[in-house]
Structure 1
C-alpha cells in the first residue's frame, strides 16, 4: 500500500493558503488513486515541542536507562520518524514567516533527523537513510521571494530533505499573496496550474 505523509505548518491550521493547496493536492491524488493511505499532521493545531536539552537527552539516553518522562518523549520522536520511514510521498504545506519556515516545521525536522536512523555519518560525509521517497512542497508567501536572497526556504528544505536521503523534491509556489487582490488571484491560479502539471506528470 502506498502512503502519503501530509504535513501542514501554517499558524492558521487548515485555513492557511499553504494548507489549502497541500490539501487540494492530496485530495486530487486520492481521487486518481484511492489506494493511497494518508497520515496527516497539522503542526499549527498540534505543534511538536521545540527541541531542548530535556528532549534531546531523553532521545539520546539508551532505552533501558530512560525515565518514564524520557520514554514518553522518545516515543513521540520515534512515532514521527516511523511516519516518515513508512511514507512513499511527503506533502509539505509551508508558509513563509519572516523569510523562514515556521518554527513548528523546524521542530519536526529536529525530531526526525537522528544519526543512525534517518542518516548516518561515513568517512566521506553524511548519508541519508530515507531513500526512495518523493516530496512535494506547497509554499505560500505574502511577497515575491523566489530566486531572491530573502528566499531561505527553498534551499533549506531541499538541503534538509536531501540530507535525509530525499532528493526527489518538487516545489509549488503561491507568491505575492499580500500584494493586492489581483496579485493574490494570480498567485493562486499559478499554484493551481503547477499542481495540475504535477498531477499530469
Structure 2
C-alpha cells in the first residue's frame, strides 16, 4: 500500500504570481511533486498576500500559560497559532517561496515563524538541561526554500555572504518546524536587479533545479516505502 504524505506550501512574496519568481518556483515544485505522488495532500498558506499578525503581549501571556489555565481570551488569541502549528505537524515536506528583502526574511514569513515557535507544541524548555534548555518536539521533516535575490554571491564564501541574513535565520529556526539542518534544500535565483545574461541563466538554472529537487525528494520517499 502506498503511504500518502503532506506538503505544506508557503508563499511569502508580497508580489502577485505573474511578477513573483518564488511563487512560480513553488508552484512548479508542487506540480512536479504531485506528478510523481498524486495521492499526497497539499496544504497552502499564503502569508505574503494574507500576512500573519505579529505576536503581542497577550499572545505571549497565553502561550506561556498552561493550557488548562488559559482564559477564553487566551484560547481565542492562540487560535491562529494553533492552526498554523497543526499544519506544520501534519506536513512531511515544507516548501517555502522566500524572496530576500533587504538581505533578510520577508516580514510576513517572520510573523509565521513567531506564531509557529510554540513552547509545549513545537519545542520544550527545561533548565535541567543546563545551557541548552530548548529541545525540538517535531522531527523528520524536510524544508525546501525557493528564493530570489536581487544581487548575487550570498552563498558561503561569496562576496555577499556576510550580508545574507535569510538563510541563517531559516537554518536557526528550522528545529521549530521539525527540520534538521541537513534536511534544508535551497534553490535561489540571483542577479534579479541586473536583468542581464547572468540573471537569465540563473532563472533557467533555478527552474531546472526546482523540478529536479521535487523529483528527487519524491523518489526518496517512494524508495523508503518500497
State TM-score, norm by structure 2.
0.82
Select the residue among 159, 162, 173 that pairs with 1:160.
173
- Which ranges in structure 1 are unaligned for 5 or more consecutive residues? none
Instruction: Quote the residue 1:196 is aligned against.
Output: 211
TM-superposed deviation, 1:81: 0.4
Which has the higher mean CA deviation after the structures are superposed, 68-77 or 28-37? 68-77
Match of 2:148 among 122, 129, 140: 140
**Aligned match for 2:202, one of 168, 183, 187:** 187
**How many pairs were matched up?**
201
TM superposition shift of 1:27? 1.0
Is this contact kept in 1: 2:8–2:87, CA < 8 A?
yes
User: Which residue of structure 2 lines up, in the alignment, with residue 10 of structure 1?
Assistant: 13
Q: Contact 1:80 / 1:111 at 8 angstroms: preserved in 2?
A: yes
Say yes or no: does 1:130 pair with 2:133. Answer: no
SS of the equivalent of 2:78 reads: helix
117-126 or 48-57, larger mean C-alpha shift: 117-126
Structure 2 counterpart of 1:178:
193
Tell me whether 1:95 sits opposite 2:104 in the alignment: no
CA deviations on 1:44-79 (whole Å, 9 max, x unpaired) are: 211110112122223334445545543322111100
Contact 2:189 2:203 in 1 (8 A): yes
Aligned to 1:151: 164
Contact between 2:122 and 2:136, CA under 8 Å: does it hold in 1?
yes
2:219 corresponds to: none
Aligned-partner Cα distance in 1 for 2:75–2:56: 16
Distance 1:52 1:143 in 2: 34
RMSD over aligned Cα atoms? 1.8
Unpaired stretches in structure 2, ≥5 consecutive residues: 217-226
1:17 shift after superposition: 1.1
Give distance in 1, aligned partners of 2:135 and 2:124: 5
Please, what TM-score do these two structures have when normalized by structure 1?
0.91
Determine which structure has more spread, i.e. the larger CA radius of gyration.
Answer: 2
